[in-house]
Protein backbone atom coordinates (compact mmCIF):
# COMPACT_ATOMS: atom_id res chain seq x y z
CA UNK A 1 0.00 0.00 0.00
CA UNK A 2 1.30 3.47 -0.92
CA UNK A 3 2.12 5.92 1.85
CA UNK A 4 -0.45 8.45 0.53
CA UNK A 5 -3.12 5.80 0.76
CA UNK A 6 -2.11 5.26 4.39
CA UNK A 7 -3.24 8.85 5.13
CA UNK A 8 -6.11 8.94 2.59
CA UNK A 9 -8.58 10.90 4.75
CA UNK A 10 -5.99 13.61 5.33
CA UNK A 11 -5.15 13.70 1.58
CA UNK A 12 -8.85 14.10 0.74
CA UNK A 13 -9.11 17.02 3.16
CA UNK A 14 -6.16 18.69 1.40
CA UNK A 15 -7.72 18.12 -2.03
CA UNK A 16 -11.00 19.71 -0.94
CA UNK A 17 -9.19 22.63 0.72
CA UNK A 18 -7.25 23.38 -2.51
CA UNK A 19 -10.41 23.07 -4.62
CA UNK A 20 -12.39 25.41 -2.37
CA UNK A 21 -9.61 28.00 -2.35
CA UNK A 22 -8.92 27.98 -6.09
CA UNK A 23 -12.30 26.92 -7.53
CA UNK A 24 -10.71 24.19 -9.63
CA UNK A 25 -10.90 20.43 -9.88
CA UNK A 26 -8.20 18.69 -7.82
CA UNK A 27 -6.84 15.18 -8.19
CA UNK A 28 -4.12 13.66 -6.01
CA UNK A 29 -2.45 10.44 -7.16
CA UNK A 30 0.34 8.26 -5.78
CA UNK A 31 3.54 7.22 -7.55
CA UNK A 32 1.72 4.25 -9.10
CA UNK A 33 -0.90 6.59 -10.72
CA UNK A 34 -3.59 5.41 -8.28
CA UNK A 35 -6.16 8.11 -7.51
CA UNK A 36 -6.02 8.72 -3.73
CA UNK A 37 -8.21 11.83 -3.47
CA UNK A 38 -10.19 14.16 -5.75
CA UNK A 39 -12.97 16.69 -6.16
CA UNK A 40 -15.71 17.09 -8.73
CA UNK A 41 -15.60 14.43 -11.43
CA UNK A 42 -12.31 13.04 -10.03
CA UNK A 43 -13.93 12.20 -6.71
CA UNK A 44 -15.92 9.44 -8.35
CA UNK A 45 -12.70 7.90 -9.67
CA UNK A 46 -10.92 7.61 -6.27
CA UNK A 47 -9.33 4.17 -5.90
CA UNK A 48 -8.93 3.66 -9.66
CA UNK A 49 -5.74 3.77 -11.64
CA UNK A 50 -5.17 6.17 -14.54
CA UNK A 51 -5.56 4.41 -17.86
CA UNK A 52 -2.91 6.48 -19.65
CA UNK A 53 -1.34 9.07 -17.36
CA UNK A 54 1.46 10.12 -19.75
CA UNK A 55 1.60 13.65 -18.38
CA UNK A 56 1.52 12.47 -14.73
CA UNK A 57 4.37 10.03 -15.37
CA UNK A 58 6.38 12.86 -16.89
CA UNK A 59 5.69 15.09 -13.88
CA UNK A 60 6.76 12.33 -11.45
CA UNK A 61 9.95 11.65 -13.39
CA UNK A 62 11.07 15.26 -13.76
CA UNK A 63 10.24 16.00 -10.08
CA UNK A 64 9.36 19.60 -10.98
CA UNK A 65 6.02 21.42 -11.16
CA UNK A 66 4.80 22.52 -14.59
CA UNK A 67 1.70 23.84 -16.38
CA UNK A 68 0.21 22.15 -19.41
CA UNK A 69 -1.26 24.98 -21.50
CA UNK A 70 -2.31 23.16 -24.65
CA UNK A 71 -3.37 19.57 -23.89
CA UNK A 72 -3.08 17.40 -27.00
CA UNK A 73 -0.63 19.80 -28.66
CA UNK A 74 2.31 19.93 -26.21
CA UNK A 75 5.38 17.87 -27.09
CA UNK A 76 4.88 15.60 -24.08
CA UNK A 77 1.47 14.62 -25.46
CA UNK A 78 2.91 13.11 -28.64
CA UNK A 79 2.87 9.57 -27.29
CA UNK A 80 -0.83 9.81 -26.38
CA UNK A 81 -3.42 8.50 -28.87
CA UNK A 82 -5.42 11.72 -28.29
CA UNK A 83 -2.58 13.86 -29.55
CA UNK A 84 -3.89 16.88 -31.51
CA UNK A 85 -7.45 15.90 -30.61
CA UNK A 86 -7.65 16.10 -26.78
CA UNK A 87 -10.80 17.61 -25.28
CA UNK A 88 -10.60 16.10 -21.80
CA UNK A 89 -9.25 19.21 -20.07
CA UNK A 90 -8.46 22.79 -21.08
CA UNK A 91 -5.25 23.06 -18.98
CA UNK A 92 -3.49 21.45 -16.03
CA UNK A 93 -1.08 22.25 -13.22
CA UNK A 94 1.07 19.40 -11.85
CA UNK A 95 2.93 19.55 -8.51
CA UNK A 96 5.05 16.54 -7.40
CA UNK A 97 4.89 15.44 -3.76
CA UNK A 98 8.41 14.48 -2.68
CA UNK A 99 9.95 12.96 0.41
CA UNK A 100 13.72 12.63 0.83
CA UNK A 101 14.18 13.46 -2.86
CA UNK A 102 11.85 10.73 -4.11
CA UNK A 103 8.40 11.34 -5.67
CA UNK A 104 5.58 9.75 -3.66
CA UNK A 105 2.67 11.34 -5.52
CA UNK A 106 1.29 14.25 -7.50
CA UNK A 107 -1.21 17.11 -6.98
CA UNK A 108 -3.07 17.89 -10.19
CA UNK A 109 -5.12 21.10 -10.69
CA UNK A 110 -7.47 20.64 -13.65
CA UNK A 111 -9.14 23.45 -15.68
CA UNK A 112 -12.25 22.08 -17.33
CA UNK A 113 -13.45 25.50 -18.68
CA UNK A 114 -11.78 28.39 -20.50
CA UNK A 115 -12.49 30.61 -17.48
CA UNK A 116 -10.61 28.23 -15.17
CA UNK A 117 -7.78 28.03 -17.71
CA UNK A 118 -7.41 31.83 -17.80
CA UNK A 119 -7.43 32.00 -13.99
CA UNK A 120 -4.84 29.23 -13.79
CA UNK A 121 -2.51 31.01 -16.24
CA UNK A 122 -2.98 34.43 -14.69
CA UNK A 123 -2.29 33.18 -11.14
CA UNK A 124 0.58 30.85 -11.96
CA UNK A 125 2.99 32.16 -9.30
CA UNK A 126 0.32 32.30 -6.60
CA UNK A 127 -0.81 28.78 -7.46
CA UNK A 128 2.76 27.54 -7.48
CA UNK A 129 3.44 28.86 -3.97
CA UNK A 130 0.12 27.68 -2.54
CA UNK A 131 0.16 24.20 -4.00
CA UNK A 132 3.86 23.80 -3.12
CA UNK A 133 2.93 24.45 0.51
CA UNK A 134 0.18 21.84 0.27
CA UNK A 135 2.70 19.39 -1.22
CA UNK A 136 5.07 20.05 1.68
CA UNK A 137 2.20 19.53 4.12
CA UNK A 138 1.47 16.13 2.59
CA UNK A 139 5.18 15.24 2.65
CA UNK A 140 5.37 16.17 6.33
CA UNK A 141 2.32 14.06 7.11
CA UNK A 142 3.83 11.08 5.31
CA UNK A 143 7.10 11.57 7.22
CA UNK A 144 5.17 11.80 10.48
CA UNK A 145 3.21 8.68 9.61
CA UNK A 146 6.42 6.91 8.64
CA UNK A 147 8.04 7.86 11.99
CA UNK A 148 4.94 6.78 13.92
CA UNK A 149 4.93 3.46 12.13
CA UNK A 150 8.64 2.99 12.79
CA UNK A 151 8.16 3.85 16.45
CA UNK A 152 5.33 1.33 16.64
CA UNK A 153 7.52 -1.34 15.00
CA UNK A 154 10.41 -0.50 17.32
CA UNK A 155 8.12 -0.61 20.35
CA UNK A 156 6.77 -4.02 19.34
CA UNK A 157 10.30 -5.22 18.63
CA UNK A 158 11.53 -4.09 22.06
CA UNK A 159 8.44 -5.52 23.72
CA UNK A 160 9.12 -8.89 22.10
CA UNK A 161 12.76 -8.79 23.23
CA UNK A 162 11.83 -7.81 26.79
CA UNK A 163 9.26 -10.60 27.01
CA UNK A 164 11.66 -13.21 25.61
CA UNK A 165 14.58 -12.68 28.03
CA UNK A 166 14.91 -14.36 31.42
CA UNK A 167 15.67 -11.06 33.16
CA UNK A 168 12.83 -9.47 35.10
CA UNK A 169 12.06 -5.93 33.88
CA UNK A 170 9.78 -3.37 35.51
CA UNK A 171 9.45 0.20 34.23
CA UNK A 172 7.58 3.00 35.99
CA UNK A 173 6.56 6.47 34.83
CA UNK A 174 7.34 9.73 36.61
CA UNK A 175 4.34 9.23 38.93
CA UNK A 176 5.54 5.80 40.04
CA UNK A 177 2.96 3.73 38.14
CA UNK A 178 4.03 0.56 36.32
CA UNK A 179 4.21 1.29 32.59
CA UNK A 180 6.08 -1.86 31.54
CA UNK A 181 6.57 -5.30 33.08
CA UNK A 182 7.62 -8.52 31.38
CA UNK A 183 6.69 -12.14 31.96
CA UNK A 184 10.04 -12.99 33.58
CA UNK A 185 9.38 -10.37 36.26
CA UNK A 186 6.07 -12.04 37.00
CA UNK A 187 7.66 -15.51 37.07
CA UNK A 188 10.49 -14.45 39.40
CA UNK A 189 8.23 -12.54 41.78
CA UNK A 190 5.28 -14.91 41.52
CA UNK A 191 2.91 -12.11 40.47
CA UNK A 192 0.23 -11.86 37.72
CA UNK A 193 2.37 -9.59 35.54
CA UNK A 194 -0.29 -8.85 32.89
CA UNK A 195 -2.55 -7.34 35.54
CA UNK A 196 0.04 -5.03 37.06
CA UNK A 197 0.34 -2.32 34.38
CA UNK A 198 -1.02 0.91 35.81
CA UNK A 199 -0.51 -0.23 39.42
CA UNK A 200 1.57 1.84 41.84
CA UNK A 201 5.05 0.37 42.32
CA UNK A 202 4.82 1.33 45.99
CA UNK A 203 1.79 -0.96 46.34
CA UNK A 204 3.22 -3.90 44.40
CA UNK A 205 6.84 -3.75 45.67
CA UNK A 206 7.03 -1.40 48.63
CA UNK A 207 10.79 -1.86 49.06
CA UNK A 208 11.68 -1.18 45.42
CA UNK A 209 14.30 1.57 45.06
CA UNK A 210 12.33 2.71 42.00
CA UNK A 211 10.27 4.73 44.48
CA UNK A 212 13.42 6.58 45.55
CA UNK A 213 14.53 7.21 41.96
CA UNK A 214 11.18 8.87 41.19
CA UNK A 215 11.73 11.10 44.23
CA UNK A 216 15.21 11.91 42.83
CA UNK A 217 17.01 10.27 45.75
CA UNK A 218 20.49 8.76 45.28
CA UNK A 219 20.64 4.95 45.29
CA UNK A 220 23.17 2.23 44.47
CA UNK A 221 22.71 1.11 40.88
CA UNK A 222 23.32 -2.55 41.81
CA UNK A 223 21.62 -4.04 44.87
CA UNK A 224 20.61 -7.37 46.39
CA UNK A 225 17.01 -6.95 47.55
CA UNK A 226 14.61 -9.20 49.41
CA UNK A 227 11.00 -8.61 48.35
CA UNK A 228 8.19 -9.85 50.55
CA UNK A 229 5.45 -11.21 48.26
CA UNK A 230 2.65 -12.33 50.54
CA UNK A 231 4.19 -14.97 52.81
CA UNK A 232 7.03 -15.66 50.37
CA UNK A 233 10.41 -13.91 50.32
CA UNK A 234 12.10 -13.43 46.95
CA UNK A 235 15.77 -12.40 46.79
CA UNK A 236 16.91 -10.71 43.60
CA UNK A 237 19.99 -9.03 42.20
CA UNK A 238 18.69 -5.74 40.76
CA UNK A 239 20.02 -2.98 38.54
CA UNK A 240 18.34 0.44 38.40
CA UNK A 241 18.24 2.97 35.57
CA UNK A 242 16.57 6.40 35.60
CA UNK A 243 14.98 7.51 32.29
CA UNK A 244 15.42 11.11 31.14
CA UNK A 245 13.90 12.99 28.22
CA UNK A 246 15.34 16.42 27.42
CA UNK A 247 16.95 16.46 30.84
CA UNK A 248 13.67 15.75 32.64
CA UNK A 249 13.16 12.56 34.69
CA UNK A 250 10.30 10.69 33.02
CA UNK A 251 10.56 7.31 34.73
CA UNK A 252 12.87 4.49 35.81
CA UNK A 253 13.60 0.84 35.10
CA UNK A 254 14.57 -2.08 37.31
CA UNK A 255 16.19 -5.14 35.73
CA UNK A 256 16.64 -8.08 38.07
CA UNK A 257 17.65 -11.73 38.31
CA UNK A 258 16.62 -14.35 40.84
CA UNK A 259 19.66 -14.36 43.17
CA UNK A 260 19.78 -18.15 43.35
CA UNK A 261 20.04 -18.31 39.54
CA UNK A 262 22.93 -15.84 39.53
CA UNK A 263 24.80 -17.78 42.20
CA UNK A 264 24.15 -21.08 40.43
CA UNK A 265 25.50 -19.75 37.12
CA UNK A 266 28.51 -18.19 38.83
CA UNK A 267 29.26 -21.52 40.46
CA UNK A 268 29.08 -23.30 37.11
CA UNK A 269 31.28 -20.73 35.36
CA UNK A 270 33.83 -20.75 38.16
CA UNK A 271 34.42 -24.48 37.81
CA UNK A 272 33.72 -26.13 34.50
CA UNK A 273 31.80 -29.31 35.17
CA UNK A 274 33.80 -31.92 33.30
CA UNK A 275 31.87 -35.16 32.90
CA UNK A 276 33.74 -38.33 32.11
CA UNK A 277 32.03 -41.10 30.19
CA UNK A 278 32.60 -44.83 30.42
CA UNK A 279 34.65 -44.70 27.21
CA UNK A 280 37.18 -42.52 29.04
CA UNK A 281 37.70 -45.14 31.74
CA UNK A 282 40.68 -47.07 30.38
CA UNK A 283 40.63 -50.85 30.52
CA UNK A 284 39.17 -53.90 28.82
CA UNK A 285 39.85 -56.60 31.40
CA UNK A 286 36.85 -58.72 32.32
CA UNK A 287 36.65 -57.28 35.83
CA UNK A 288 36.54 -53.66 34.63
CA UNK A 289 34.05 -54.55 31.88
CA UNK A 290 31.72 -55.93 34.56
CA UNK A 291 32.02 -52.68 36.55
CA UNK A 292 31.26 -50.58 33.44
CA UNK A 293 28.20 -52.67 32.66
CA UNK A 294 26.98 -52.24 36.23
CA UNK A 295 27.51 -48.47 35.98
CA UNK A 296 25.26 -48.31 32.91
CA UNK A 297 22.51 -50.15 34.78
CA UNK A 298 22.88 -48.05 37.92
CA UNK A 299 22.91 -44.76 35.97
CA UNK A 300 19.33 -45.08 34.77
CA UNK A 301 17.76 -44.79 38.21
CA UNK A 302 17.82 -42.24 41.04
CA UNK A 303 18.77 -44.48 43.95
CA UNK A 304 21.76 -43.60 46.10
CA UNK A 305 25.06 -45.22 45.09
CA UNK A 306 27.97 -45.95 47.43
CA UNK A 307 31.25 -46.41 45.57
CA UNK A 308 33.95 -48.22 47.52
CA UNK A 309 37.52 -48.96 46.59
CA UNK A 310 41.10 -48.26 47.51
CA UNK A 311 42.62 -44.81 47.12
CA UNK A 312 43.60 -44.05 43.53
CA UNK A 313 41.23 -46.51 41.83
CA UNK A 314 39.27 -43.72 40.08
CA UNK A 315 36.10 -43.55 42.17
CA UNK A 316 35.42 -39.97 41.08
CA UNK A 317 35.69 -40.96 37.40
CA UNK A 318 33.03 -43.62 37.94
CA UNK A 319 30.81 -41.13 39.78
CA UNK A 320 31.10 -38.71 36.86
CA UNK A 321 30.35 -41.55 34.44
CA UNK A 322 27.18 -42.45 36.38
CA UNK A 323 25.99 -38.85 36.10
CA UNK A 324 26.93 -38.57 32.39
CA UNK A 325 25.03 -41.77 31.52
CA UNK A 326 21.96 -40.82 33.55
CA UNK A 327 18.80 -38.88 32.60
CA UNK A 328 20.26 -36.08 34.77
CA UNK A 329 23.29 -35.60 32.50
CA UNK A 330 22.17 -32.12 31.36
CA UNK A 331 21.76 -30.96 34.96
CA UNK A 332 24.54 -29.94 37.38
CA UNK A 333 27.02 -32.36 38.95
CA UNK A 334 28.40 -30.96 42.20
CA UNK A 335 31.44 -32.58 43.82
CA UNK A 336 32.22 -32.17 47.51
CA UNK A 337 35.38 -33.60 49.04
CA UNK A 338 34.40 -34.08 52.66
CA UNK A 339 38.02 -34.27 53.82
CA UNK A 340 39.17 -31.11 52.03
CA UNK A 341 36.78 -28.66 53.72
CA UNK A 342 37.14 -27.70 57.42
CA UNK A 343 34.34 -28.99 59.65
CA UNK A 344 33.18 -25.47 60.54
CA UNK A 345 32.70 -24.60 56.85
CA UNK A 346 31.41 -27.92 55.53
CA UNK A 347 27.79 -27.40 56.62
CA UNK A 348 27.46 -24.02 54.87
CA UNK A 349 29.25 -25.44 51.81
CA UNK A 350 26.75 -28.30 51.59
CA UNK A 351 23.54 -26.50 52.54
CA UNK A 352 24.30 -22.78 52.08
CA UNK A 353 23.42 -20.00 54.50
CA UNK A 354 21.05 -17.07 54.82
CA UNK A 355 22.09 -13.46 55.13
CA UNK A 356 23.21 -12.67 58.70
CA UNK A 357 23.66 -16.36 59.60
CA UNK A 358 27.07 -15.63 61.15
CA UNK A 359 29.74 -12.96 61.33
CA UNK A 360 31.23 -12.47 57.88
CA UNK A 361 28.26 -13.99 56.03
CA UNK A 362 27.84 -12.55 52.53
CA UNK A 363 25.17 -9.98 51.83
CA UNK A 364 22.29 -11.93 50.35
CA UNK A 365 23.56 -15.26 51.72
CA UNK A 366 24.97 -18.14 49.69
CA UNK A 367 23.51 -21.19 47.98
CA UNK A 368 24.95 -24.55 48.98
CA UNK A 369 26.07 -27.39 46.73
CA UNK A 370 22.86 -29.37 47.22
CA UNK A 371 20.71 -26.46 46.07
CA UNK A 372 23.06 -25.71 43.16
CA UNK A 373 22.78 -29.34 42.05
CA UNK A 374 18.97 -29.29 41.99
CA UNK A 375 17.81 -31.65 39.27
CA UNK A 376 21.28 -33.19 39.00
CA UNK A 377 23.76 -35.17 41.09
CA UNK A 378 25.79 -34.56 44.25
CA UNK A 379 29.00 -36.58 44.60
CA UNK A 380 30.24 -36.85 48.20
CA UNK A 381 33.86 -37.95 48.02
CA UNK A 382 35.73 -39.17 51.12
CA UNK A 383 32.39 -39.79 52.81
CA UNK A 384 34.06 -41.45 55.80
CA UNK A 385 35.39 -38.03 56.87
CA UNK A 386 31.91 -36.53 57.32
CA UNK A 387 31.41 -35.40 60.96
CA UNK A 388 28.66 -37.14 62.93
CA UNK A 389 26.54 -33.97 63.32
CA UNK A 390 26.48 -33.52 59.54
CA UNK A 391 25.67 -37.18 59.05
CA UNK A 392 22.35 -36.48 60.79
CA UNK A 393 21.60 -33.61 58.43
CA UNK A 394 22.52 -35.69 55.39
CA UNK A 395 20.19 -38.43 56.61
CA UNK A 396 17.36 -35.86 56.75
CA UNK A 397 18.13 -34.82 53.16
CA UNK A 398 17.90 -38.44 52.02
CA UNK A 399 14.66 -39.03 53.91
CA UNK A 400 12.77 -35.78 53.21
CA UNK A 401 14.46 -34.46 50.04
CA UNK A 402 14.67 -31.05 51.67
CA UNK A 403 17.50 -28.91 53.03
CA UNK A 404 17.65 -26.02 55.48
CA UNK A 405 20.27 -23.32 55.08
CA UNK A 406 22.48 -22.31 57.97
CA UNK A 407 20.65 -19.50 59.77
CA UNK A 408 17.46 -20.21 57.84
CA UNK A 409 14.08 -21.23 59.19
CA UNK A 410 12.42 -22.73 56.14
CA UNK A 411 12.89 -26.00 54.29
CA UNK A 412 13.83 -25.95 50.61
CA UNK A 413 12.75 -28.84 48.40
CA UNK A 414 15.50 -30.31 46.25
CA UNK A 415 15.70 -33.05 43.64
CA UNK A 416 19.20 -34.53 43.66
CA UNK A 417 20.73 -37.94 43.31
CA UNK A 418 23.50 -38.69 45.82
CA UNK A 419 26.54 -40.69 44.82
CA UNK A 420 29.05 -41.19 47.64
CA UNK A 421 32.54 -42.68 47.71
CA UNK A 422 34.99 -43.82 50.35
CA UNK A 423 38.19 -45.83 50.71
CA UNK A 424 37.45 -46.59 54.35
CA UNK A 425 35.72 -49.62 55.84
CA UNK A 426 32.34 -48.06 56.61
CA UNK A 427 30.98 -51.21 58.28
CA UNK A 428 33.87 -51.12 60.75
CA UNK A 429 33.25 -47.40 61.32
CA UNK A 430 29.60 -48.21 62.08
CA UNK A 431 30.68 -50.88 64.55
CA UNK A 432 33.09 -48.41 66.18
CA UNK A 433 30.40 -45.71 66.45
CA UNK A 434 32.13 -43.41 63.96
CA UNK A 435 29.42 -43.60 61.32
CA UNK A 436 25.63 -43.67 61.67
CA UNK A 437 24.18 -47.07 60.88
CA UNK A 438 20.89 -45.63 59.55
CA UNK A 439 22.80 -43.31 57.18
CA UNK A 440 24.99 -46.19 55.99
CA UNK A 441 21.93 -48.19 54.94
CA UNK A 442 20.43 -45.13 53.24
CA UNK A 443 23.62 -44.59 51.26
CA UNK A 444 24.41 -48.21 50.50
CA UNK A 445 21.29 -48.84 48.42
CA UNK A 446 23.44 -49.67 45.39
CA UNK A 447 27.01 -50.65 46.32
CA UNK A 448 29.65 -50.34 43.60
CA UNK A 449 33.12 -51.77 44.19
CA UNK A 450 36.06 -50.52 42.10
CA UNK A 451 38.81 -53.15 41.89
CA UNK A 452 42.46 -52.25 42.65
CA UNK A 453 44.96 -52.09 39.79
CA UNK A 454 46.71 -55.27 40.92
CA UNK A 455 43.43 -57.11 40.28
CA UNK A 456 43.41 -56.02 36.64
CA UNK A 457 47.04 -56.10 35.56
CA UNK A 458 45.99 -56.72 31.95
CA UNK A 459 44.86 -53.09 31.80
CA UNK A 460 48.30 -51.70 32.70
CA UNK A 461 49.60 -51.61 29.10
CA UNK A 462 46.51 -49.63 27.94
CA UNK A 463 46.83 -47.24 30.86
CA UNK A 464 50.56 -46.75 30.19
CA UNK A 465 49.90 -45.91 26.53
CA UNK A 466 47.23 -43.41 27.57
CA UNK A 467 49.48 -41.70 30.13
CA UNK A 468 52.42 -41.56 27.68
CA UNK A 469 50.16 -39.76 25.20
CA UNK A 470 48.91 -37.41 27.92
CA UNK A 471 52.37 -36.42 29.18
CA UNK A 472 53.85 -36.18 25.70
CA UNK A 473 51.37 -33.35 25.21
CA UNK A 474 52.02 -31.81 28.60
CA UNK A 475 55.84 -32.09 28.56
CA UNK A 476 56.31 -31.57 24.81
CA UNK A 477 57.95 -35.01 24.45
CA UNK A 478 57.96 -37.50 21.56
CA UNK A 479 58.05 -40.80 23.47
CA UNK A 480 56.42 -43.54 21.40
CA UNK A 481 55.96 -46.39 23.83
CA UNK A 482 57.50 -48.31 26.74
CA UNK A 483 60.25 -50.94 26.56
CA UNK A 484 58.88 -54.50 27.13
CA UNK A 485 61.20 -54.97 30.12
CA UNK A 486 59.95 -51.75 31.72
CA UNK A 487 56.33 -52.79 31.07
CA UNK A 488 57.00 -56.16 32.71
CA UNK A 489 58.35 -54.37 35.79
CA UNK A 490 55.16 -52.32 36.00
CA UNK A 491 53.03 -55.46 35.73
CA UNK A 492 54.97 -57.15 38.54
CA UNK A 493 54.66 -54.16 40.91
CA UNK A 494 51.93 -54.33 43.59
CA UNK A 495 50.49 -50.78 43.07
CA UNK A 496 49.32 -49.76 46.55
CA UNK A 497 48.41 -46.35 45.05
CA UNK A 498 46.57 -47.96 42.12
CA UNK A 499 45.93 -46.00 38.88
CA UNK A 500 46.92 -42.71 40.46
CA UNK A 501 50.34 -44.14 41.36
CA UNK A 502 50.75 -45.58 37.84
CA UNK A 503 50.05 -42.16 36.32
CA UNK A 504 52.58 -40.61 38.70
CA UNK A 505 55.17 -43.21 37.64
CA UNK A 506 54.67 -42.56 33.91
CA UNK A 507 54.86 -38.80 34.39
CA UNK A 508 58.13 -39.31 36.30
CA UNK A 509 59.53 -41.54 33.54
CA UNK A 510 58.51 -39.09 30.79
CA UNK A 511 60.40 -36.32 32.56
CA UNK A 512 63.68 -38.27 32.70
CA UNK A 513 63.58 -40.40 29.55
CA UNK A 514 65.71 -38.89 26.76
CA UNK A 515 64.96 -41.41 24.02
CA UNK A 516 61.62 -42.19 22.37
CA UNK A 517 61.23 -45.35 24.46
CA UNK A 518 60.67 -45.51 28.22
CA UNK A 519 63.50 -47.67 29.56
CA UNK A 520 63.53 -49.46 32.96
CA UNK A 521 66.15 -46.99 34.24
CA UNK A 522 63.67 -44.10 33.85
CA UNK A 523 61.10 -45.67 36.18
CA UNK A 524 60.83 -44.45 39.77
CA UNK A 525 63.43 -45.97 42.10
CA UNK A 526 60.84 -47.35 44.56
CA UNK A 527 59.25 -49.45 41.80
CA UNK A 528 62.59 -50.78 40.57
CA UNK A 529 63.68 -51.65 44.12
CA UNK A 530 60.37 -53.35 44.85
CA UNK A 531 60.54 -55.54 41.73
CA UNK A 532 64.25 -55.91 40.91
CA UNK A 533 66.03 -55.48 44.18
CA UNK A 534 68.57 -52.91 45.42
CA UNK A 535 71.76 -54.19 43.73
CA UNK A 536 70.43 -54.37 40.15
CA UNK A 537 68.73 -50.99 40.46
CA UNK A 538 71.93 -49.25 41.57
CA UNK A 539 73.90 -50.84 38.71
CA UNK A 540 71.39 -49.66 36.09
CA UNK A 541 71.24 -46.15 37.54
CA UNK A 542 75.02 -45.79 37.62
CA UNK A 543 75.68 -47.07 34.11
CA UNK A 544 72.82 -45.58 32.17
CA UNK A 545 70.87 -42.87 33.85
CA UNK A 546 73.58 -40.86 35.59
CA UNK A 547 76.14 -41.03 32.78
CA UNK A 548 73.62 -39.92 30.15
CA UNK A 549 72.40 -37.07 32.31
CA UNK A 550 75.91 -35.78 33.05
CA UNK A 551 76.98 -36.09 29.39
CA UNK A 552 73.88 -34.23 28.18
CA UNK A 553 74.42 -31.39 30.65
CA UNK A 554 78.10 -30.98 29.60
CA UNK A 555 77.17 -30.81 25.88
CA UNK A 556 74.37 -28.29 26.52
CA UNK A 557 76.72 -26.16 28.64
CA UNK A 558 79.29 -26.12 25.80
CA UNK A 559 76.59 -25.08 23.30
CA UNK A 560 75.45 -22.24 25.52
CA UNK A 561 79.05 -21.12 25.86
CA UNK A 562 80.10 -21.29 22.19
CA UNK A 563 76.95 -21.37 20.02
CA UNK A 564 75.62 -23.77 17.39
CA UNK A 565 77.08 -22.89 14.00
CA UNK A 566 79.16 -25.40 11.99
CA UNK A 567 82.45 -23.76 13.02
CA UNK A 568 81.32 -23.62 16.65
CA UNK A 569 80.38 -27.31 16.58
CA UNK A 570 83.94 -28.15 15.52
CA UNK A 571 85.20 -26.08 18.45
CA UNK A 572 82.82 -27.86 20.86
CA UNK A 573 83.84 -31.33 19.58
CA UNK A 574 87.52 -30.44 19.98
CA UNK A 575 86.96 -29.13 23.51
CA UNK A 576 85.01 -32.28 24.49
CA UNK A 577 87.65 -34.55 22.97
CA UNK A 578 85.30 -36.23 20.49
CA UNK A 579 84.90 -36.12 16.70
CA UNK A 580 82.34 -33.90 14.96
CA UNK A 581 80.31 -36.97 13.74
CA UNK A 582 80.24 -38.25 17.35
CA UNK A 583 78.96 -34.86 18.49
CA UNK A 584 76.16 -35.02 15.87
CA UNK A 585 75.18 -38.53 17.02
CA UNK A 586 74.96 -37.40 20.64
CA UNK A 587 72.94 -34.30 19.70
CA UNK A 588 70.44 -36.55 17.92
CA UNK A 589 70.45 -39.17 20.70
CA UNK A 590 69.76 -36.55 23.40
CA UNK A 591 67.26 -34.69 21.17
CA UNK A 592 69.21 -31.42 21.51
CA UNK A 593 68.06 -28.90 18.92
CA UNK A 594 70.31 -26.01 17.84
CA UNK A 595 69.82 -22.61 16.28
CA UNK A 596 72.18 -22.81 13.29
CA UNK A 597 71.86 -19.17 12.30
Q: Tens of pLDDT along 39-85?
A: 988 888 898 988 766 778 888 888 888 888 777 566 666 566 555 56
- In angstroms, the CA 411 to CA 400 distance is 10
pLDDT lower than 50: segments of the chain: 271-272, 535-540, 597
> From residue 489, how far is each of 2, 326, 347, 482 by CA, in Å?
89, 39, 46, 11
Q: Are 26 and 107 in contact (CB under 8 A)?
A: yes
Q: Are 313 and 282 in contact (CB under 8 A)?
A: no
Compute the radius of gyration of the chain from its Cα atoms.
44
Give the 3-state secondary structure of residue 2.
coil
Q: What domains are there in the chain, each with its CATH number?
A: 5-147 (3.30.450.40), 165-265 (3.30.450.20), 273-446 (3.40.50.300), 452-532 (1.10.8.60), 534-597 (1.10.10)
- In angstroms, the CA 262 to CA 235 distance is 11
Instruction: Report the pLDDT value the prediction gives residue 278, as an integer from 0 to 100.
Output: 80
Instruction: Report the pLDDT value the prediction gives residue 441, as an integer from 0 to 100.
Output: 93
- In angstroms, the CA 542 to CA 429 distance is 48
Phi, psi for residue 516 in degrees, rounded to 5: -95, 20
Decide: pTM greater than 0.85: no
Q: Tens of pLDDT along 493-516?
A: 999 999 999 999 999 999 999 889
- In angstroms, the CA 97 to CA 18 distance is 15
Instruction: Report the pLDDT value the prediction gives residue 559, as an integer from 0 to 100.
Output: 82
Amino acid sequence: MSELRGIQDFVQDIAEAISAALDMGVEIIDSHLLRIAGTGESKEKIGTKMAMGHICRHALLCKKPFILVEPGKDQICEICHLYSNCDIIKAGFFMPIQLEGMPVGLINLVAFTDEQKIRLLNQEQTLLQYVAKMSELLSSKIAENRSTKQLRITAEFLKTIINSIDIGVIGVNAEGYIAQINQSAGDILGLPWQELRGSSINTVLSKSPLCKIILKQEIDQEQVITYQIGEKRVRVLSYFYPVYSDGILTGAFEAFYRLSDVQRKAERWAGTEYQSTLSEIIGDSEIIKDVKERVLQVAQGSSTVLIQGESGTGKELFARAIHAASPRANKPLKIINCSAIPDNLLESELFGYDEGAFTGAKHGGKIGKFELADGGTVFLDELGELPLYLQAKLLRVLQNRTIERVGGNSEIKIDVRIVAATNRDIEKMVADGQFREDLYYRLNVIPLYIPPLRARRDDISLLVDYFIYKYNEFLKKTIKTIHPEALEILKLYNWPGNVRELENAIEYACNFEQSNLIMPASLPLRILRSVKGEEIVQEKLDLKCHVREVEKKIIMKAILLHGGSLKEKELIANELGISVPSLYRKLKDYNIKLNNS
